[in-house]
Amino acid sequence: MLYLLFLLLVVACKDSFLKTEPDVRSSIISVLEKVTVFMENRYQDINLDAVLGFRVLQGYLKGALEKWPLEHELLAQRARVEGMIKKMSSLLEKATHSLVQNDPEYFKEFAPILGPHFWIIPHSWNRTDPLMAYSSFGSTSCFTEETSDACFTYLLGTWKENGKSCIVTNACRNTMTKPACSNYCLSHQLLYFIFADVKGCSDRLFLRAPDYKNIFCASMMKINLEIENNGFNLSSRDLFMENIMLCGMSGFSDFYKLRWLEKILTWQMPKEGCFGEPSEQISASCITVQLYCLISWTHLYCSLPNARGF
Ligand SMILES: *[C@@H]1O[C@H](CO)[C@@H](O)[C@H](O)[C@H]1NC(C)=O
Ligand SMILES: *[C@@H]1O[C@H](CO)[C@@H](O)[C@H](O)[C@H]1NC(C)=O
């Protein structure tokens, strides 16, 4: 399946600057090395989202190494990835320590998702079906962040000390399946089902998880294509990349478009190593979600066999 996917990408992107798979892998590794340098300089300032990004990245890099092709010429790249993982482990420890210091309450609520074994790599792939997407979207503020945070803590069991996990209240059920939500509400709905998967929650709501994921990601694909048609304006990039990360993580391979990866690679600030607006002050958010989608590509490309193989 991965071979096929890659062949399709290559065929579909004849004009791209990333002509071969080793080029892609090498570009991603270079970009991630710069991101690691950024983290080295700023680990005290980065927020929970960014720490989360690094945690997922570390997990995915480890996963990529497990499938790393044995070709001799890839040993040097392998060593670079191993170096990054090692550096990241100690930085993650330090960054997590600062998080606890800065906002212990918020940290506690999300501590489980910052653990080393929370994030999983998809084991099967599918594509979105455009017919499943909402034909039109309602308001972009379908529900508040407080509402979705509360629903997440009921699933994670962090709503109180030693709380039970996998609790689905009626309010959460309604919120998390509310139709026609868009933008960040939509990604939070998907995240809810991702958390339930990882926690192994068995509420009957989750029997329909594959259906909901199909609907959410088809709609998120529709939004991403709109963002592309609008020229990737600055205010939409964050959402664009978050959608790629979350749906990629849910196994929808059509989010890994080579032309999107190339675009995103151009958004890295060459000196600072983070992703953001050139005019903007370098802030913690500079590398948060922007990093996420690269993570998805990392595990896809870094674990592909060498092109010579087919
Ligand atoms: C793949 O996606 C289609 C809709 O796009 C869905 O009908 C089908 O059940 C999905 N397959 C799996 C294995 O999830
Ligand atoms: C930016 O793109 C988004 C998403 O496509 C669109 O809704 C919005 O109107 C655009 N904003 C500007 C300022 O062009």
Is 141 within 8 Å of 185 (Cβ atoms)? yes
Token pair 């906002």: residue: 103
Q: What is the pLDDT of residue 213?
A: 97
Encode burial over 150-167: b for 16+ CB neighbours within 10 A, e otherwise: bbbbbbbebbeeeeebbb
Q: What is the pLDDT of residue 164?
A: 96
* Dist CA 155 CA 201 (whole Å): 8
Residue of 140, 219, 230 to mutate, ligand 2, most atoms within 8 A of C-beta: 230
The contacts of residue 74 (CB under 8 Å, 6+ apart) are 22, 68, 306
Residue 238 C-alpha to ligand 2 middle, in angstroms?
12
Q: Return the axis-axis angle of helices 48-66 and 288-302, rounded to nearest 10°.
A: 0
Mean pLDDT by runs of 10 across the 310 residues of the chain is 38 46 76 82 78 80 78 82 90 90 89 80 85 91 91 95 95 96 94 93 96 98 97 86 86 87 79 59 45 50 32
Residue of 1, 126, 215 to mutate, ligand 1, most atoms within 8 A of C-beta: 126
Tokens of 100: 């606890």
* Dist CA 132 CA 157 (whole Å): 32
* Dist CA 115 CA 98 (whole Å): 15
Q: What is the pLDDT of residue 297?
A: 52
**Residue 252: strand pairing partners:** 126
Q: Return the axis-axis angle of helices 75-102 and 21-42, rounded to nearest 10°.
A: 30
The residue ranges of every structural domain in the chain are: 1-6+20-125+252-310, 126-250
Best CA proximity match to 198, nearest among 221, 165, 170: 165
Instruction: Report which protein residue has its CA nearest ligand 2's atom 12.
Output: 233
CA pseudo-torsion sign 265, 268, 274, 275: negative
Tell the burial category of 119 from Cβ atoms under 10 Å away from its Cβ (0-12, 13-18, 19+).
Answer: buried
* Dist CA 306 CA 303 (whole Å): 9
Residue 176 C-alpha to ligand 1 middle, in angstroms?
20
Q: Which ligand ends up closest to the CA of 228?
A: 2
Q: What is the pLDDT of residue 295?
A: 54
Q: Which ligand ends up closest to the CA of 122?
A: 1
Token pair 């790599």: residue: 121
